Amino acid sequence: MLTDVALKAMKSKDKPYKVADRDGMYVHVTPTGGLSFRLDYRLNGRRETVHLGKYGPAGLSLARAREKCMDAKRAIGEGISVNRRPKGTPYRRAIGTPSWGSGLQ
């Protein structure tokens, strides 16, 4: 399990790499030294990745990233795709979502 001290001590490498946390969340470390929180999940037989946010003073804390991870996992458990929505819009169901023409007679 990651700690704030461990995140601050992470160094960049030649290639991007992942460091696992808990509940399926991990930190993606870029060659430039950027840290971002991500979550891999499966929904409807497809593997998807959701970007929870960047780490740092202007970004997310580890505690906030874990909260967002748990919120995303709750939505995934209800069959809601957390990756297929514009920012600021509520979650929508991935299965059984009516098409634009379904209301036409």
- CA distance readout (Å), 48 to 45, 57, 77, 90, 105: 10, 27, 14, 19, 35
Q: Provide the whole-model pTM.
A: 0.77
- CA distance readout (Å), 64 to 22, 46, 55, 70, 95: 14, 26, 10, 10, 28
Q: Give pLDDT, residue 14.
A: 96
Q: List per-residue pLDDT tens for the chain, 105 residues long.
A: 899 999 999 999 999 999 999 989 999 999 999 999 999 999 888 899 999 999 988 899 999 999 999 999 999 988 888 876 556 655 555 555 555 555 554
Name the residue ranges covered by the structural domains of the chain: 4-77
Q: Give pLDDT, residue 88.
A: 60
Distance CA 96, CA 78 (A): 12
CATH 3.30.160.390 fits 4-77, yes or no: yes
Q: Give pLDDT, residue 100.
A: 53
